[in-house]
Amino acid sequence: MNEGSLLPCPRLEIHLAKLSHNAATLITRLNKKGIAVTAVTKATLGMPEIAAMWLQAGAAGLGDARIENIRSMRNSEHLNLQDQSPMSLIRTPMLSQVAQVVQYADISLNTEISVLTRLSKEAQKINRHHGVILMVEIGDLREGILPEQLESVVRHALCLPNIRFLGIGANLACRSGVAPDQRNMDQLSELANLLDRTFGTIVKVVSAGNSANLNWALSSMDLGRVNHLRLGEALLLGCEPLQRKRVEDLHTDAFTLVAEVIEVGIKPAKPWGCIAQAAFGETKSNKLKGNITQAILAIGRQDTDHEGLLAPEGIGILSASSDHLVISISKPHPPIHVGETVSFQLNYSALLRSMTSPFVSRAF
Ligand SMILES: *Cc1c(COP(=O)(O)O)cnc(C)c1O
């Protein structure tokens, strides 16, 4: 679209002011309802500039699914984590990583007694306390202790030296798409009440879920014991993941993926020859006929998820291989030339892959 420039391509352009607006708006709205927010950095590869901005915008802490990201944020000069902002590992720790987990994370989400026991041992070794939130299965069938087993796991956790039981949590809409609603959220609150009745007041945190919980959290008149959410997508992309609708007043265009044109020409829309499998299996036929203006961008599956890209008007995404993205160009888009760039918006899947690709550079 624009002139060939000397900026590296492909690149992700990150609009920090828009991200900051999203975070401040959403966190303030939730804080008013008594909900604290852990900002989830995993889709940004633990990018310290974004993490620091989230803490400034009011996040109560940072969360990531990878201990490697947590370690790099700990070591970053952009982040002053000496303050009160805890770092949480939001995936159940691998036994092989528990020593790193107690060293770099303040809190982890857990479901396994064997892991809790090892966390306790490693925490004792370095004379630290490690906070744990126990995840409960309430229907999505990813991580979680079955409700009927929760009491016994909590009893175990309470006896472990250097383990600080903080509360319970749940995660919905990830594996099976089960939506958070008043019924499953009430169940989580009930479990918190049950634990408090059994053990004395021990449940400080009830961490209800991820961005998919937003609609419920912002509209429900009865949040019960829920006082915490872990948010990534909504802060980054300004939308909630159940219907992929924009959250009121948030920006959905804080990220842009820019790729460079390496070939343009008029070509037949249909391939010819005997059609077998393509590089990635599928041989999708398109509905285009006759000749089209086709271009190749120097970006591919190693750099992003092409199915999650939103193209400018007049540009169609035809297919992608490891290193090439084939597009069609028609009106109202102006003609494009080799060396020029095309910009896309991204969904969560495309953003995650672009952020974690070593081939995609970042520009603020
Ligand atoms: C990724 C993740 C989140 C954040 O999810 P978003 O949809 O990006 O808000 C929260 N909790 C857990 C356990 C996760 O794995």
136-163 pLDDT per residue, tens: 999 999 999 999 999 999 999 999 999 9
Indicate the residue among 246, 281, 309 that finishes a domain: 246
Better-scored residue on pLDDT, 1 or 194? 194
Domain with residue 147: its CATH number is 3.20.20.10
Q: Active-site residue 42, yes or no? A: yes
**Are 208 and 347 in the same domain?**
no
Distance from the alpha carbon of residue 43 to the mean position of ligand 1, in angstroms: 9
Domain count, the chain: 2
Supply the angle between the helices 48-56 and 16-32 in degrees, to the nearest 10: 40
| Per annotation, catalytic residue among 42, 121, 287, 289 | 42
Query: Average pLDDT for residues 259-264, to the nearest whole number?
Result: 98
| Residues with C-beta less than 6 Å from any ligand 1 atom | 40, 42, 65, 90, 171, 210-211, 230-234, 241
CB 210 within 8 A of CB 230: yes
- Measured from the Cα of 232, ligand 1's closest atom is 8
Distance from the alpha carbon of residue 313 to the mean position of ligand 1, in angstroms: 31
Indicate the residue among 246, 268, 284 that finishes a domain: 246
Which tokens belong to 262? Answer: 């390496």
Distance CA 215, CA 243 (A): 10
The per-residue pLDDT for range 313-327, each reduced to its tens digit, is 999 999 999 999 999
Q: How confident is the model at residue 280 (pLDDT cuts 50, 70, 90)?
A: confident
Across the chain, what does the average pLDDT equal?
A: 94
Query: Average pLDDT for residues 203-216, to the nearest whole number?
Result: 97
Give pLDDT, residue 16: 97
Give pLDDT, residue 275: 83
The per-residue pLDDT for range 81-125, each reduced to its tens digit, is 655 689 999 999 999 999 999 999 999 999 999 999 999 999 999
Distance from the alpha carbon of residue 340 to the mean position of ligand 1, in angstroms: 36
Q: How confident is the model at residue 224 (pLDDT cuts 50, 70, 90)?
A: very high
- Measured from the Cα of 234, ligand 1's closest atom is 9
Q: How confident is the model at residue 284 (pLDDT cuts 50, 70, 90)?
A: low
Domain with residue 305: its CATH number is 2.40.30
Closest CA to ligand 1's atom 3: 210
**Are 72 and 180 in the same domain?**
yes
pLDDT higher than threshold 70 for residue 50: yes
Owning domain of residue 62: 33-246
Distance from the alpha carbon of residue 210 to the mean position of ligand 1, in angstroms: 5
Helix (H, G, I), strand (E, B) or coil at 51: helix
Task: Report yes or no on 234 lying in a domain.
Answer: yes
Query: Average pLDDT for residues 286-314, to the nearest whole number?
Result: 94
Alpha helices in the chain (DSSP H): 16-32, 48-56, 67-74, 98-104, 113-125, 147-159, 182-199, 214-219, 233-237, 348-356
- Measured from the Cα of 135, ligand 1's closest atom is 13
| Percent helix / strand / coil, the chain, rounded to 5 | 30, 25, 45
